Structures are given as C-alpha cells and as structure tokens.
Structure 1
Amino acid sequence: MTTTLAIGLAVTAIIAIIVLIAYFRLNPFIVLFTVSLALALAAGMPADHVVASFEAGAGHVLGHVGTVIALGTMLGKMLAESGGADRIALTISQAAGRERVDWAMMIIGLLVGLPVFFEVGFVLLIPLAFVLAARTDTPLLRVALPMGAALSVTHAMVPPHPATLLALSAYHANTGRTIFWGVIIGTPIAIIAGPLYGRFIAPRIHITEANPLAEQFISREVPKNLPGFGITVFTILSPVMLMLIGSVADHVTAVHSAPNRLLHFVGNTDIALVLATVLSFYVLGIARGFSRETILRFTNECLGPTALIMLLVGAGGGFGRELVDSGVSKAITDAALGAHVPLLILAWLLAVIVRVACGSATVAMSTASGIAGPILAHSSGVSPELMVLVTGAGSVAFGPMNDAGFWQLKEYLGLTVPQTLKTWSVVETLIAFFGLFFCLIASIFIH
C-alpha cells in the first residue's frame, strides 16, 4: 500500500467519524464500527477478515480494561454514597482557607480523580464545588475549573485509569515509573490549567442564567456521620500503592521467588483495584451502617452508565486494529519514520487527531498508543513512560463539542456554548500543550 493511499484512507476515516458524530448526531459506537469496516474494505482486506479484525481489537482492549472500568466505578460509587468525597472536600478546603479554595478543589480533584473516570469524578465533586463557591462567596468557575482540570489530568496521565493502562501495555512501560512521572509532570499542568487559568478567566465570564442544580446542592445538608479523612484517602490511594509495590518487586525481592510473585500479583492492576473495592465495601459501606443488600444495589446501579463507555473503548480498540491489520498503520508509520518526526510529537499528534475525531479521550489514547506502540518497539532512546504521558496529554486536547465532558460541564455550570469554549476547551488545550512541552523537556533527562 502506498503512503499516499494510507494517509488518504486514514484522513477520510477521521473526517467521516467527525461528520457522522458531530453533524449527523449518530451513535459514536455505530460510527466507529462502520467506519472501521469501511476503511478495512477500502484498504483491500478480505471481507471475511474485516469483522474478525475488529472483534479481535475490541476484545483485546475490553479484556484488559473492562474489569478496571467496573471496579473503578464501584469504588467511586462507594466514595459518593458513604460521604467519603464530602469528607475529603471539607477537610482540605477547611485547611486551605477561603482565599485558596480553588487550590483546595484542585487537590481534591487530583485525589478523587485517581480511581474514577472524569465523568464520574465530576458528578461526585460538582455538588461540593457549588457549596464551597456559595459559602465562600467565590465565583463558581474559579472553584469548578481547577477541579475539572485536576480530574482531566489524572484521567489522562496517571494509572490506574483504563486509557493509561492500555497505553502502558502498548508501550511496555513500567507502572510505578509512569505513576511517579505522571504525578511530577501532571501536578504543574493541573496548576496552570486549573487555579491559574481559573483566576484569569472567572472575572471575564458572567453566568447570568439561574442554575437549579446549584440551588439543589447548596440547600443539601452534608451528612453528619462522615467517614474519617485518613481511612477515606487510604482507600482511594490503596490501588495506586499496591501497583507501586508491584512495580518495585524485582528490586526488593529475588526474581521468580515466592515473595516476588506475591508482590507482582497484588500489584497487578485488576487485583489492586478489586482489593481496594472490597476494602471500600467494608470501611465505606458496612462500617458506615449500610447493609449488604444496599451495597449490592449501589454496585449494580453504578454499572449501567458504563455500558456506552465500554462500547466506545472497545470500538476504539477495533478501529486501531483495523488500521494495523489493513496495512494503513504500517504505511503511515514508515512515512513518519522516514520524515523523522520525533516519536513523542508523533504520539501526541495521533492522540490529538483521534480526540478531535471521536471526542473520547479514552478512545484517543487507546487508538494512538495502538498505532505508536509498534514504532516505539523499533526505536531507541525514547522513554515508554513519557510516551504514555504525552499520548494522554494529546488525548484531552481542545475539549471538543463531540466530547460528553463538554456538554456535562456546560449544563452543570449553566454556561452558554461560547462560554464553555472559552473556559473548558481552553483548560483542556492547556493540559494538552503543556503536557507535550513538559514531556519534551523531561525527555532530555529520561530515556
């Protein structure tokens, strides 16, 4: 396949996805599925291989990420229902003081965002943003944007988020080092896109429409019997701590010994999350007075909304597999290597393109890492961990209107579309470009 044909097919597929989702408002899963098949057929793949390729790609992705999505959602649900999110928010905001409530919300977002999807974390924390803004007489945007920025940074750059785990697998990166550099690089990005930009833009955006959601939450009473701050934070951070333990297993125990295997086992992403979720059933459930039946109802209820997320993640994996199996990815890869595009920039650009194409940061990261992973395998001098981070940064670029988060933030904060573009879309773009900038700087020292 010629490079021109491969690039033409890829560009046509991406434009088709944008138009069908953004203009014709078709279901994103149906669009990704049909465009993937059409691309493979146009590339000359045998018809009997086309569907099998999509299924293999979707199955591989969901086999790795489905469990993570389910367990992370359950953990987030227990955090919400127990009042754990309220406890974290109240404790940190009281310690920070009235003038630094935006910084407090950023820290809260970084903590709460670790185990849950952006959309879930936003729903968990937006009531606290409403309450804190009202009680400290602070503009709502100055409180909500730092929270959103922190949630977006953790979603894109810090495991155990499903997208970062897929990128970890594609790039064969070390989990512990990725978490470490994700925190080191992600924190200043969250500061720039959150409190700093929030303080700049909040006085320039005037929210005029009445917000019934805000009224509802402001009048809500915070439960008096909240779980302790220490045990709540420990529960949230426990999967991250277990994964860090697993990543250093070979440095503290003899390789292939029984203790080494045990540490690798508990440090496995699925095992770490299931242990943390079971722990939450007790410390945030039974210990708070919830019955086993109530906890079962919570865990069943929270899984319903994840169905579309799982389908989109799977479809993104299927799309990436069609690109590989049809030869389109190889032709583009060869062209990129021939053009000597730096690999970090290439991975970032691929994520940005897919982000604009389908709106989903998770799909953007999984698809881009699936394409860039084979290139990294034949390259040297590039840190796999930085590849994960730069792909994650690109995956949130522009906060486009085909992203569910765009409309979620608009509706909750009572913004107009132009106001959402000036606030949320800029926040996401700052995360993307500073993510690339800091990763390029870090690449000078990390190989």
Structure 2
Amino acid sequence: MTSLSVEILAADAAEPITSAGNAQLGIAVLAGIAVIVLLITKFKLHAFLALTIGSLALGAFAGAPLADTIKSFSTGLGNTVAGVGVLIALGAILGKLLADSGGADQIVDTILAKTGKKGMPWAMVLIASVIGLPLFFEVGIVLLIPVVLMVAKRGNYSLMRIGIPALAGLSVMHGLIPPHPGPLVAIDAVGANLGVTLALGLVVAIPTVIIAGPVFSKYAARWVDIQAPEKMIPARPSADLEKRPGFGITVATILLPVVLMLVKALVDIVVDDPENGVQKVTDVIGSPLIALLAAVIVAMFTMGRAAGFTKEQLSSTVDRSLAPIAGILLIVGAGGGFKQTLIDIGVGQMILDFSKSWSIPALLLAWLIAVAIRLATGSATVATISAAGLVAPLAEGMSTGEVSLLVLAIGAGSLFFSHVNDAGFWLVKEYFGMNVGQTVKTWSVMETIISVVGIVFVLLLSLVL
C-alpha cells in the first residue's frame, strides 16, 4: 500500500472512537502535543516513547476507551511503516550503494566543481524540484539525503544553507504541482482542469520555492548553525575501488524511480482507463515500491559492480545500510500512530464543523480549512482530501482558472506549519540531526513560508483571472 492510499484510508475513517464535544477535543489535541514536547525537551525522552505516550494521553483527554486508542495508534504506526518504512529502507540501500561505490563522491565533486558557493543553494533547489515532482516527500528525502549531506560536508556549508532549499523544492512539488498525488486528488474533487492547474501551479511554485528555499535558508543557517551529522554522512568509499561509476550513469540510476513514477502519472492522465494494458503495466512499475526496488537492483550493477564489488561486498553494503535507519523508522511510525489517533477521535470532523460557519472568500476559506486540518492531523494529503471535499460545491459557477486556483489554495494550506504530529517532521529532525526546537525554527517555519507565500500568490492571480 502506498503512502497516498494509506492516507486516503485515514481520511475516510469510520465513526470517531469518542463522543467528546469539540471543546474537549480541542483541549485534548493541545494536551497531547504538550505532553510530547515536554517529554522530549524537558525529560529528554526518546521521540518514539514520547509519541507513544502522547498518543495515549491524547486518547485519555478525549475520553476515548484505552483499547480503542491503542488500536488507533497501532494501526497508524503499522500503516505508516508499511507505506513509508519500506520506501525508507529501499532508499537507504540505494543511498549506501551510492556512497560505497563512489557514485555520491562523483556527483558531489561534479556539483562542487560546476557550481560556485553562491549558486549552490539554487542548484540544490533545482535538483530537489526535479526529483520531487512525481515522488512522495519521504521518497524524495531518502534519495536526496546522501547528496545533501555530502555537499554540505565537502563544501563546508551550513547544513541549513544546503538542506532547506532541497526540502523546499520537495515540499512545493508535494503540495502544488500535479502530477503529484495530492494536487491530483484535489483536481478530481473540485473538477479542475489539469493543464491549467499545472500552468498556474508553476507560476505560484517558482517564486514560492525561491523565497522558502534559497532566500530563507540564509536566515535558517543563522538561527540553526549546524553541520551535517557525522553519523548520517555516507562514509568515503575505500581507496582500493577499481573505479568510480560515471556521473551520467549515477544520476540516471538515481532518477530511475523518478522517471518510472512520472511515466505512471502521465499514462494515468493520458490513457485514464484502468483496464488498459499499458496503464496496468505502468501502474505496477510506477508504484513507489517497485520503482525504488528497480533502482536498487539496477544500482547493484551500475554502481556496485561498476566499482568492482563482489557479491559479498554487495551483500555487506545492503546489510550495513539498514542498521542506521532503525530509530528513524520507529519515530516516523510513531508519528503516524499519533496522526491516526487524532483522526480517529474526530479532530478532522471538528475542524470541518467549525469551518462551515466561516463567511470569507472561497479561496481564503479553502486555505484556512486545509491549514486547520493540517495542524490537527499532521497530514498534508488528509488536509488536501478533506478540504477539497468540503469546498467542492464552491467550484460551481467559477471560471476554469478560478477552479484551478481553488486547488492551489488547498495545496498551499495543506503544507502549513508541520510539527510533532507530522511524520515528515521527525524524518527531517532525525536525518539532519536536529533537536525539536531547531526543527521548528527551520523545517516548520519553512513549511509555513511556503503555505503563506503560496496563498498570497494565489490571491494575487485571482485578481487578474
């Protein structure tokens, strides 16, 4: 099951596991988040344990039966690990092959040689945007992390100066640009034109990613001046390698899952027939699991064998790639469990109930609804699906351009202020070796900038359409 299907199932959850009113649910959400933050920052408890305890506290404050709370948390953890965990593992294997074979060195050396110090953040945001177009955010991170960390280390850059542009490129694609799954769901829900949405999405995305990426990274690097964590930096390959894989074949191998997923998205749009033979094939090879698995297998030849690895060395590389991500998997999984608990106690419906009485312009209403659901549930896709379903009737009578702007307003809102109930928050924190406060000051603020700048440009475009 892919991340998208997991989150769609979450969005379509059954009746809430508690009969608490909206006021009690609001208090429960604040209390649950406070427990997590307090346990991590004050008592230095491991994030996995803090998220687990925080989820139980959330259910207790909401008046949900303990058995139902445990079931919700376990379901969310299992779905997240099933949907994201396998992708993280495959990405880690690919990253280790990239590093051990010398392929990452080849990419980093080429980037450093071709790009000046001032141009490096711009190069990173461009690379991340290309890679992130058809990928889930988590997949894009595990593909980019080795390159980001090595560029920061070799070039002696602040990690935030390099990492924030890469994260911004991935996140903007995630929320605003079809054929990414989130925008596609919103396009279908409100009946928008895909081509028009893509064109307007690019108009909004380009200035948004510039402001949230290279521009904001200057300030993020001052606020959180850290270097790439040594434990996450791929080790330099041994000096006795026969040779390093070439730059072209290395980049092609990394982009293979991107291409496969993009082909699937394009075929789904052009053919749009689940019974068509070509679409059936691309649906399989373009799924995140198969696309990344194919890249790993190809990398064993284009990187491992090209560097002279024996079968034993390949096996050892795969084995050593998995140990460092055990803690990350548990933390990300627990974040998914907390998110599912939020959804199952009825927080999403609480937000929808409040939003029905808001009397404001349609585009701003769509953004605010998505923001509220994003803050409550931690899921950009759940926020997109729920908000799109609620505001879909508003699309009646709108022009083609206005309907597309409605999709973009929802997408921008779905990215607002990622925090402790978002699995992506923990993924960024662990990979970049930051504490909770540092992650909020960089990653969370960056997400908020994307969301606010995005809706500003959407509203400006609405004045001329």
Contact 1:145-1:195 within 8 A present in 2 as well: no
> Residue 354 of structure 2 corresponds to which residue in structure 1?
335
Does the C-alpha gap of structure 1 residues 199 and 318 become closer, same or farther in structure 2, counting only changes over 3 Å? closer
CA distance, structure 2, for counterparts of residue 36 and residue 212 of structure 1:
29
CA distance, structure 2, for counterparts of residue 430 and residue 206 of structure 1:
13
Letter in 2 for 1:89: V
Contact 1:266-1:272 within 8 A present in 2 as well: yes
User: In the TM superposition, what whole-angstrom CA distance separates every residue of 1:32-65 from its partner, at most 9, and x where no partner exists?
Assistant: 2222223223323233322222222222222221
- Does 1:288 find its partner at 2:300? no
Letter in 2 for 1:60: N
User: In the TM superposition, what whole-angstrom CA distance separates every residue of 1:259-288 from its partner, at most 9, and x where no partner exists?
Assistant: 221111111111111111111111011122
> Residue 429 of structure 1 corresponds to which residue in structure 2?
445
Contact 1:394-1:436 within 8 A present in 2 as well: no
> Residue 345 of structure 2 corresponds to which residue in structure 1?
326
> Residue 358 of structure 1 corresponds to which residue in structure 2?
none
Give the 3-state SS of the residue equivalent to 2:414 in structure 1.
helix
> Residue 303 of structure 1 corresponds to which residue in structure 2?
322
> Residue 394 of structure 1 corresponds to which residue in structure 2?
417
Query: Residue 65 of structure 2 is aligned with which of 37, 46, 56?
Result: 46
Does the C-alpha gap of structure 1 residues 15 and 169 become closer, same or farther in structure 2, counting only changes over 3 Å? farther
> Residue 45 of structure 2 corresponds to which residue in structure 1?
26
- Does 1:374 find its partner at 2:386? yes
Does the C-alpha gap of structure 1 residues 157 and 29 become closer, same or farther in structure 2, counting only changes over 3 Å? farther
> Residue 168 of structure 2 corresponds to which residue in structure 1?
153
CA distance, structure 2, for counterparts of residue 132 and residue 438 of structure 1:
31
Letter in 2 for 1:82: S
Does the C-alpha gap of structure 1 residues 212 and 236 become closer, same or farther in structure 2, counting only changes over 3 Å? closer
Does the C-alpha gap of structure 1 residues 12 and 132 become closer, same or farther in structure 2, counting only changes over 3 Å? closer
Contact 2:412-2:455 within 8 A present in 1 as well: yes
CA distance, structure 2, for counterparts of residue 184 and residue 84 of structure 1:
35
CA distance, structure 2, for counterparts of residue 254 and residue 201 of structure 1:
43
CA distance, structure 2, for counterparts of residue 262 and residue 385 of structure 1:
30
> Residue 257 of structure 1 corresponds to which residue in structure 2?
276
Contact 2:383-2:414 within 8 A present in 1 as well: no
Does the C-alpha gap of structure 1 residues 61 and 229 become closer, same or farther in structure 2, counting only changes over 3 Å? same
> Residue 78 of structure 1 corresponds to which residue in structure 2?
97
What pairs up with 1:90-239 in 2 under 5 angstroms? 90-97=109-116, 100-104=119-123, 106-107=125-126, 118=141, 121-122=144-145, 124-133=147-156, 140-141=157-158, 144-158=159-173, 188-197=207-216, 225-239=243-257
Query: Residue 266 of structure 2 is aligned with which of 248, 253, 258?
Result: 248
- Does 1:441 find its partner at 2:464? no
CA distance, structure 1, for counterparts of residue 311 and residue 251 of structure 2:
23
TM (norm. structure 1) is: 0.72
Note the residue ranges of structure 1 that are not aligned, 5 or more in a row: 134-139, 355-363, 412-416
TM (norm. structure 2) is: 0.70
Give the 3-state SS of the residue equivalent to 2:88 in structure 1.
helix
What is the CA-CA distance between 1:69 and the residue it aligns to?
A: 1.1
What is the CA-CA distance between 1:83 and the residue it aligns to?
A: 2.0
> Is the deviation greater in 182-191 or in 80-89?
182-191
Letter in 2 for 1:242: L
CA distance, structure 1, for counterparts of residue 251 and residue 269 of structure 2:
27
What is the CA-CA distance between 1:2 and the residue it aligns to?
A: 2.2
> Residue 360 of structure 1 corresponds to which residue in structure 2?
none
CA distance, structure 2, for counterparts of residue 278 and residue 389 of structure 1:
36
Contact 1:157-1:182 within 8 A present in 2 as well: no
Give the 3-state SS of the residue equivalent to 2:356 in structure 1.
helix
> Residue 357 of structure 1 corresponds to which residue in structure 2?
none
CA distance, structure 2, for counterparts of residue 155 and residue 262 of structure 1:
27
Does the C-alpha gap of structure 1 residues 200 and 159 become closer, same or farther in structure 2, counting only changes over 3 Å? closer
What is the CA-CA distance between 1:247 and the residue it aligns to?
A: 1.1
Identity %, equivalent residues: 27
> Is the deviation greater in 336-345 or in 233-242?
336-345
Does the C-alpha gap of structure 1 residues 196 and 271 become closer, same or farther in structure 2, counting only changes over 3 Å? same
CA distance, structure 2, for counterparts of residue 350 and residue 436 of structure 1:
16
User: In the TM superposition, what whole-angstrom CA distance separates every residue of 1:66-96 from its partner, at most 9, and x where no partner exists?
Assistant: 2211111111111222222222222233333
Letter in 2 for 1:84: G
CA distance, structure 1, for counterparts of residue 55 and residue 227 of structure 2:
43
CA distance, structure 2, for counterparts of residue 428 and residue 324 of structure 1:
21
> Residue 312 of structure 1 corresponds to which residue in structure 2?
331
Contact 1:244-1:267 within 8 A present in 2 as well: yes
> Residue 37 of structure 1 corresponds to which residue in structure 2?
56
What is the CA-CA distance between 1:201 and the residue it aligns to?
A: 8.5
Contact 2:73-2:338 within 8 A present in 1 as well: yes
CA distance, structure 2, for counterparts of residue 197 and residue 428 of structure 1:
12
- Does 1:17 find its partner at 2:17? no
> Residue 89 of structure 1 corresponds to which residue in structure 2?
108
Note the residue ranges of structure 2 that are not aligned, 5 or more in a row: 1-19, 396-402
CA distance, structure 1, for counterparts of residue 419 and residue 24 of structure 2:
28
Does the C-alpha gap of structure 1 residues 233 and 305 become closer, same or farther in structure 2, counting only changes over 3 Å? same
CA RMSD of the aligned region, Å? 4.7
User: In the TM superposition, what whole-angstrom CA distance separates every residue of 1:389-431 from its partner, at most 9, and x where no partner exists?
Assistant: 653453279xxxx9686698688xxxxx99x79xx93576245
User: In the TM superposition, what whole-angstrom CA distance separates every residue of 1:227-269 from its partner, at most 9, and x where no partner exists?
Assistant: 2221111111111111111112244447212222111111111
- Does 1:61 find its partner at 2:73? no
Aligned positions, number: 409
Contact 1:73-1:116 within 8 A present in 2 as well: no
Does the C-alpha gap of structure 1 residues 337 and 300 become closer, same or farther in structure 2, counting only changes over 3 Å? farther
> Residue 136 of structure 1 corresponds to which residue in structure 2?
none
